[in-house]
């Protein structure tokens, strides 16, 4: 098993975030807990996380968030770079939790998904 540091993009008010953190800790791992709302990931960090997840920016938006509709983010003309900028500017739009370990990352929905990389 890799000894790579585990990082979780975490929102304490989110039940899925709390469940994912509990799963990680039950494996004896104390992750770096990143409150991504208080400390939004940079566009470069977001690009790297997306690469590790094998996902496009559109795949990690919280589409149920009213801001998603208000900002017109369904617009297919928006580039990946544009979408990453929106995720950085409005971190509430980032689906959570995201768990990163080494060269892999997963979206913890459902929270059991994190077991794939820990």
Asked whether residue 11 is domain-assigned, the answer is: yes
Number of domains observed in the structure of the chain: 1
Task: For the chain, 118 residues long, give each residue's pLDDT as a single digit of tens.
Answer: 446 899 999 999 999 999 999 999 999 999 999 999 999 999 999 999 999 999 999 999 999 999 999 999 999 999 999 999 999 999 999 999 999 999 999 999 999 999 999 9
Asked whether residue 87 is domain-assigned, the answer is: yes
The CATH code of the domain that includes 88 is: 3.40.30.10
Q: Which residues are catalytic?
A: 14
Which residue range is the domain that position 61 belongs to? Answer: 6-116
Write the CB contacts of 11 (distance below 8 Å, at least 6 apart in sequence).
17, 35, 36, 37, 96, 97
Asked whether residue 1 is domain-assigned, the answer is: no
Residue 116 tokens read as 């794939």
């Amino acid at each position: 098993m890799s000894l790579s540091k585990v990082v979780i993009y975490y929102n304490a008010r989110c039940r899925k975030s709390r469940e994912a953190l509990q799963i990680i800790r039950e494996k004896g791992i104390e992750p770096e807990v990143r409150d991504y709302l208080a400390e939004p990931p940079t566009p470069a960090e977001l690009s790297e996380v997306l690469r590790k997840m094998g996902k496009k920016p559109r795949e990690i938006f919280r589409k149920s968030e009213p801001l998603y509709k208000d900002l017109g983010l369904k617009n297919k003309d928006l580039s990946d770079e544009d979408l990453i900028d929106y995720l950085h500017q409005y971190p509430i739009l980032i689906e959570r939790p995201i768990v990163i370990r080494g060269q892999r990352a997963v979206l913890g929905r459902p929270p059991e998904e994190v077991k794939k990389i820990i």
